[in-house]
């Protein structure tokens, strides 16, 4: 068994998601190589080399890979695929973009969003918005897998893998990067945050997110999320959405403020260690999954919480 892990990074830092997908790749058994494709991304390769259980790091440093366009990136992975029994990537937006293209080019049926490895060919994955867990066994000789990273621990450090430079392959040249608008934030990233506070439609405006959610996030060092309803209403940016069609999260503490708890939202937070619900409706479904529920108006509860946290942090 030999596995190729396709990494996710921003040309500077290897993502947490990659370190978690590595744990899934290792559980398949056998050697794991990691491919880093990007531009000016040697530092990322060095980070990958320090993860435990990595055999080799393959570094493809070229203009074509700077923005992770699917066409050149998939062509590169396919060119590397021959000696590997499995190709694995985290279910990040780039993994989900690239890996099915790789799978089709290799004539393999991809297994998406693997949440558990039962055997090297048998996996669990959530379907129907997380309402059902499917157990599948693949008959493909080569496996192509994306990983629901919240279901796996981060791989440990202490590794000393070798870094080998590999050549870029021809770019089909059918796509071109134009621009990027990333929400620069000093806050923790949702998918790797230890604490998350999310707001729902009850927040009523973007200003209220800033006024009521931000102070608590500041004090707890938390990432900020939102329900689909809040994003649909324009109270929060799209990439804050937590849920089956947004971000899947697994923090130690998830605080849901003014979120009723639609099934698709709950599917995105079910791996959270502790869920806190603050809602004035005592019958809100969120209370059925919350470890601690507070039936209260968030417009009084959140400022009170911010004040108490300020006291204890003073």
Partner 1 sequence: MKILVPVKRVVDANAHVRVKADGSGVDLSGVKMSINPFDEIAVEEATRLKEKGSAAEIVCVSIGPAEAAEVLRSAFAIGADRGQLVIGEGDLEPLAVAKILKAVIEKENPQLVILGKQAIDYDNDQTGQMLAGLLGWPQATFASNVTIEGDQVQVTREVDGGHQTVRLRLPAIITCDLRLNTPRFAALPSIMKAKKKPIEQKSVDSYGVDLKPRLQVLKLAEPPRRKAGIKVKSVTELLDKLRNEAGVI
List binders of partner 1 among 206-235 (CB under 8 A). Answer: 220, 228, 231-232
For 276, the 3-state DSSP assignment is strand
For 81, the 3-state DSSP assignment is coil
- Which CB atom, from 160 or from 311, has the smaller least distance to partner 1? 311
Stretch that binds partner 1, among 21-29, 43-51, 178-186, 204-212 (CB under 8 A): 178-186
Cβ partners under 8 Å of residue 293, min gap 6? 276, 277, 278, 279, 286, 287
CA torsion 33-139-75-67 (nearest 10°) is -70
Q: Is 275 in the site for partner 1 (CB under 8 A)?
A: yes
Q: How far is Cα 246 from Cα 269, in angstroms, rounded to an integer? A: 11
Question: How far apart are CB 251 and partner 1 at their closest, in Å?
Answer: 9
Stretch that binds partner 1, among 23-31, 48-56, 151-159, 177-185 (CB under 8 A): 177-185
- Per-residue binding string, partner 1, 45-84, x by CB under 8 A, is ----------------------x-xxx--x----------
DSSP β-ladder status, 253-257 and 292-295: unpaired
Of 2, 211, 270, 280, which lies in the binding site for partner 1, with binding defined by CB under 8 A? 270
- Which CB atom, from 163 or from 294, has the smaller least distance to partner 1? 294
Stretch that binds partner 1, among 25-33, 58-66, 172-180, 196-204 (CB under 8 A): 172-180
- Which CB atom, from 160 or from 312, has the smaller least distance to partner 1? 312
Closest CA to 112 of 151, 80, 77, 141: 151
Q: How far is Cα 267 from Cα 67, in angstroms, rounded to an integer? A: 30
Q: Are 42 and 61 in contact (CB under 8 A)?
A: yes
Question: How far apart are CB 256 and partner 1 at their closest, in Å?
Answer: 13
- How many residues interact with partner 1 (rule CB under 8 A)? 87
The residues in 230-269 that bind partner 1, with binding defined as CB under 8 A, are 231-232, 238-239, 244-245, 247, 252-253
Of 23, 81, 100, 149, which lies in the binding site for partner 1, with binding defined by CB under 8 A? 100
How many CB atoms lie under 10 A from the CB of residue 234? 10
Which uninterrupted H or E stretch holds 147?
A: strand 143-147
- Per-residue binding string, partner 1, 116-145, x by CB under 8 A, is ------x---xxxxxxxxxxxxxxx-----
For helices 70-80 and 93-105, give the axis angle rounded to 10 degrees. 50
Of 55, 62, 163, 295, which lies in the binding site for partner 1, with binding defined by CB under 8 A? 295
Question: How far apart are CB 45 and partner 1 at their closest, in Å?
Answer: 21
Tokens 């004035």 label which residue? 280
Which two structure tokens, joined as six digits, stand for 295? 């039936």
Between CA 131 and CA 140, with CA 135 as vertex, the angle to 5 degrees is: 135
Stretch that binds partner 1, among 24-32, 34-42, 53-61, 271-279 (CB under 8 A): 271-279
Cβ partners under 8 Å of residue 179, min gap 6? none
Of 13, 40, 63, 93, which lies in the binding site for partner 1, with binding defined by CB under 8 A? 93
What do you get for the CA distance between the two ends of the chain, in Å? 54
DSSP state of 173: -
Question: How far apart are CB 285 and partner 1 at their closest, in Å?
Answer: 10
Question: How far apart are CB 94 and partner 1 at their closest, in Å?
Answer: 7
Which two structure tokens, joined as six digits, stand for 102? 């790789």
Of 162, 165, 175, 205, which lies in the binding site for partner 1, with binding defined by CB under 8 A? 175
Question: How far apart are CB 77 and partner 1 at their closest, in Å?
Answer: 11
């Amino acid at each position: 068994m030999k596995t190729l892990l396709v990494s996710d990074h921003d040309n500077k830092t290897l993502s947490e998601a990659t370190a978690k997908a590595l744990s899934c790749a290792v559980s398949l058994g056998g050697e794991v190589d990691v491919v880093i494709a990007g531009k000016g991304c040697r530092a990322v390769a060095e980070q990958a080399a320090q993860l435990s259980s990595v055999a080799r790091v393959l570094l493809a440093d070229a203009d074509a890979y700077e923005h992770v366009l699917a066409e050149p990136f998939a062509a590169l992975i396919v060119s590397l695929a021959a000696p590997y029994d499995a190709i694995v990537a985290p279910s990040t937006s780039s993994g989900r973009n690239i890996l099915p293209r790789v799978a089709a080019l290799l004539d393999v049926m991809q297994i998406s969003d693997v949440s558990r490895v039962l055997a090297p060919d048998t996996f669990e994955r959530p379907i129907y918005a997380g309402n059902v867990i499917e157990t599948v066994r693949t008959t493909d000789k080569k496996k192509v897998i994306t990983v629901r990273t919240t279901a796996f621990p981060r791989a440990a450090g202490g590794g000393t893998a070798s870094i080998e430079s590999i050549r870029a392959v021809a770019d089909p040249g059918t796509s071109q990067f134009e621009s990027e608008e990333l929400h620069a934030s000093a806050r923790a990233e949702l998918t790797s945050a230890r604490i998350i506070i999310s707001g729902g439609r009850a927040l009523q405006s973007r200003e209220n997110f800033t006024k009521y959610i931000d102070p608590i996030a500041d004090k707890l060092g938390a990432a900020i999320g939102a329900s689909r309803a809040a994003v649909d209403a324009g109270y929060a940016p799209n990439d804050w959405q937590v849920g089956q069609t947004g971000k899947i999260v697994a923090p130690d503490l998830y605080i849901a403020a003014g979120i009723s708890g639609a099934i698709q939202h709950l599917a995105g937070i079910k791996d959270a260690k502790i869920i806190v619900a603050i809602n004035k409706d005592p019958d809100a479904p969120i209370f059925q999954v919350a470890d601690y529920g507070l039936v209260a108006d968030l417009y009084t509860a959140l400022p009170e919480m911010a004040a108490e946290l300020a006291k204890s942090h003073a």
